[in-house]
Structure 1
Amino acid sequence: MPINIPKQLPAAKLLKEEKIFLMDQERAYKQDIRPLNIIIFNLMPEKEKTELQLLRLLGNTPIQVNITFMNTATHESKNASKTHLDTFYTTFDQIREKKFDGMIITGAPVEQLLFEEVDYWNEMKEIMEWSKSNVTSTLHICWGAQAALYYHFGIDKFTLSRKCSGVYRHILTDQVENLIRGFNEEFNAPVSRYTSVSEEEIEKHERLTILSTSEEAGVFLVKSNDNKMVMVTGHLEYDAHTLAEEYHRDITKGIDIEMPKYYFPNNNPSNKPLNTWRAHTHLLFSNWLNYYVYQATPYNWE
């Protein structure tokens, strides 16, 4: 899928080096096709890394995708430059009258706070409410998934005794759902969080279906029965080295943290980690774009 992004976006050069099919806006406007319009609400602190991770995945299927990045208006990012945000990001007020085929809401480093304590929670609620009528399907990641379960379905998170960090083995609890088409019955997925959600509460909810769980890490993949909302409690989009960077960062800060499980070869943090989840990451994103967005969205929103 060629992704339509600004030529100057820093991720563009790296994506081209990886042979990801890019299309600049000038060429995209000349194509007589209906592209998918995807908005990414990027709440991660290191925004350029997350941009690269997500664009790499959205550029791997045959349909043209127009990308819009959105940032919070009620919270000032400390890790991204104002120039980068002003150049490549929009705010909710600027797009609230528009319709989007798909939306991605990322994780955020605020999970140890109550939702109501997050300084942009009111803005977050407004955006999630807006997505119900202005977006065909929304993919929520990690804290974004917990926020969606709380706001839309009344299922709160709870605090774990220790951070759940590592590459955990997950199983499918549904074998036929289009979102996990092509998945192995067991697959690896990175997890990095201090909180979790109740599998029992989700199972009891008449509007939700669990698609994947881990015996150690808990619920992983959940969808609403109308396919408008997908919740992924881990980080399939992570690069091979992302968990290592988080671990060494926490060690440097003096945080009492355990080494990520099943991640470093021979359980040695000096060894280079391997990406053992890449294939399923691409499957999840391409299945979501195809079955939940492209096949479901109206040709003309009006």
Structure 2
Amino acid sequence: MTGGPYLLVDDADGVLRVVFNRPQRLNALTAAVLRAAADTVEEAAADARVRVITLTGTGRAFCTGADLTDAGGDIAPVDGSQAGEPGARRYGAHGTAESGIDAANRLIRAITDVPKPVVAVVNGPAAGVGCSIATACDLIWAAESAYFLLAFANVGLMPDGGATATIPAAIGRARAARMALLAERVPAQRAFHWGLISAVVPDDQLAAEADKVVAALATGPTAAYAETKRALRASALAGLDHALSQERAGQLRLFRGADFAEGVRAFQEHRTPRFTGA
């Protein structure tokens, strides 16, 4: 199975493996890839052959956020992780912010709603909406070299992809605010200590250790997992849908603001941005 050249999909032995496959762009995502990933996870919900889903990336990154340089014009910025690249300058002429945000939100809902365990295998940086996708998963196995980053504030934006719900649910409001407001890089070991992720293992052992967990889930009590996941979603992430709506509205306002434009210019010019609050 395949979701196109930038999304690899394989289904074997009860495991649906979804792989972001743009290593030359550190697995930055277009709206088209986000929609394809959402399609894949949504379809798995009704497929009895699928008992567990994994998400990972090829190369040295899990996902560094939204691709602002999509030549097809199918995406506008979803986050600030790459805002200094040429596509940011072409923002007004290529697609709409709504398409990217809505595609990301659909994937987050698919991950949290599918009645099967979803395991993020974080092989490298998980930044911007990549961090949001990883933290929406039920289990997160990360390599020691991986890190988690909400870089949005650096270009005058706010977190999206449900991060304002999933991250505080995992690590509390104070640490979530530290990640979101200061745009601090959180190394995998600290992320594990904080409770953001499930496990951290040496880089060369990540695939093998994740495979053990996934194999156990694939032969486990699927119905029990579904009910457990449903209950956890209702208790720990009861506010997720509201957060997604608030993020969408706030981010669209910020895209039109002077601070976002200044953040992009500052990134391109390799200087500290001069934000005015506008």
Larger radius of gyration: 1
More strand by share: 1
TM over 0.5: no
More helix by share: 2
TM-score (norm 1): 0.28
